[in-house]
Amino acid sequence: MLKVEFLVAGGIITNYKCSSKCRHCSYSSSPKWPDDYMTPDVADEIFSILKRLGCSSVHIGGGEPLLKPDRILDILDSAAKNGMDIEYIETNASWYRDEASAVNILAELKRHGVHTLLISIDPFHNEYIPFRKVKDLVRACSKVGLNVFPWQMEFWDEIDMLDENTPHSFDEYTKLFGKDYLLRLPAKYGLNMKGRAFVTYKPYMRMQPFEQIMREAGPCRLLSGLYHFHVDLYGNFIPQSCPGLAVPLKELVDGADTDKYRIFYNLDSAGVAGLAGLAMKEYRYIPKAEYAGKCDLCYDIRNHLVLGLGLDLPDLKPDGHYRYV
């Protein structure tokens, strides 16, 4: 069985739809996603299960969770009902229109138990969102007494060198800070190289022979991480650092059937070599000569299953992770 018996800290994904299509997004969020949002019933079930598993606090993110500020209040009510603390809500500030409306939204969040807003501050978001919105949102938080968790403050001065009233492309950043600016960002930001982030940086990665990857890759142990897991709006448990793989949280509590979630199980028990063996044997997968590491091989197989064959596999969810990258 695939089973989770204890969890420490993680996040809730209320929606995958986002106002931006950032190059570094490990969840492949974008405006193209369906306009779905977590329902109160799903939230209630998730918080109840997490509490039983030992998790007493979560952060909330997306997508952009404050695209629907009225819908997030129901999620916060469900958290309070189940004794779940909210560490912070992540936001890119794109929804900011003016001080008065922002203050009203922030004050309502505070009344529902939110004390901190994580505000994205980086060149990736600045490709879509004027820095002025970030600055104005920080000021609005101060007015209502909400703490700001700036992610990451070290980019502030670089972004502030450009016009705050408009978004800026990476061409502008490279002109200011050098042609290798994009390549310096992963270490500075601490990027999770999955989803769109992997697509962005794959051209710069060292290629490895398929045989070498198969020989060296061990079990992924996706469920071994107790920290920084996520549960999305559909109730899917997403292991830390690996979006695009999912098993319903309520099934993992009792023990999920490994025959039903074969992709997940093969990765967890035998790693990408096990997945590749399964894909070649049963899904007509033909490996390439080289890949940019084991994650590239894993994504290539998963893309073959979801996009190439059009399969609706229960553990490769949501399929938007592959379709909207």
Mean pLDDT in residue range 90-100: 98
CB 130, CB 136: distance < 8 Å: no
* Radius of gyration for the chain, computed over Cα atoms and rounded to the nearest angstrom: 20
Answer yes or no: pTM beyond 0.75: yes
174 lies in a domain?
A: yes
Q: How many domains does the structure of the chain reveal?
A: 1
Residue 223 has pLDDT above 80, yes or no: no
35 lies in a domain?
A: yes
**What are the CA-CA distances from residue 144 to residues 106, 116, 171 (Å)?**
7, 11, 37
Mean pLDDT in residue range 77-99: 98
The tens digit of pLDDT for each residue in 177-199 reads 999 999 999 999 999 999 999 99
Residue 158 has pLDDT above 70, yes or no: yes
Task: Return d(Cα 211, Cα 81) in angstroms, integer.
Answer: 52
252 lies in a domain?
A: no
Mean pLDDT in residue range 24-40: 98
Write down the pLDDT at residue 1.
Answer: 85
216 lies in a domain?
A: no
**Amino acid identity, residue 171?**
D
225 lies in a domain?
A: no
Report the Cα–Cα distance between both ends of the chain, in Å, rounded. Answer: 31
Mean pLDDT in residue range 259-286: 97
Taken in order 23, 28, 32, 38, the sign of the CA dihedral is negative
| Position 146 confidence tier, pLDDT thresholds 50, 70, 90 | very high
**Amino acid identity, residue 279?**
A
How many other CB atoms sit within 10 Å of the CB of residue 288?
11
Which range is least confidently modeled, 117-126, 144-153, 221-230? 221-230
244 lies in a domain?
A: no
| Position 143 confidence tier, pLDDT thresholds 50, 70, 90 | very high
Write down the pLDDT at residue 222.
Answer: 72
Which residue blocks in 65-163 are alpha helix, DSSP H? 69-81, 99-111, 123-126, 131-144, 156-159
Write down the pLDDT at residue 224.
Answer: 67
* Structure-token pair, residue 242: 């690996």
Report the CATH number that the domain containing residue 98 is assigned in CATH: 3.20.20
Write down the pLDDT at residue 228.
Answer: 84
Mean pLDDT in residue range 54-69: 97
Residue 19 has pLDDT above 70, yes or no: yes
Write down the pLDDT at residue 72.
Answer: 98
184 lies in a domain?
A: yes
Task: Return d(Cα 213, Cα 314) in angstroms, integer.
Answer: 26
Write down the pLDDT at residue 292.
Answer: 98
Write down the pLDDT at residue 227.
Answer: 74
Per the prediction, the chain carries an average pLDDT of 96
Cross-strand partners of 148? 117
316 lies in a domain?
A: no
The range of the structural domain enclosing residue 165 comes to 9-209
Mean pLDDT in residue range 118-145: 98
Mean pLDDT in residue range 67-95: 97
What pairing do the DSSP bridges indicate for beta strands 85-91 and 116-120? parallel
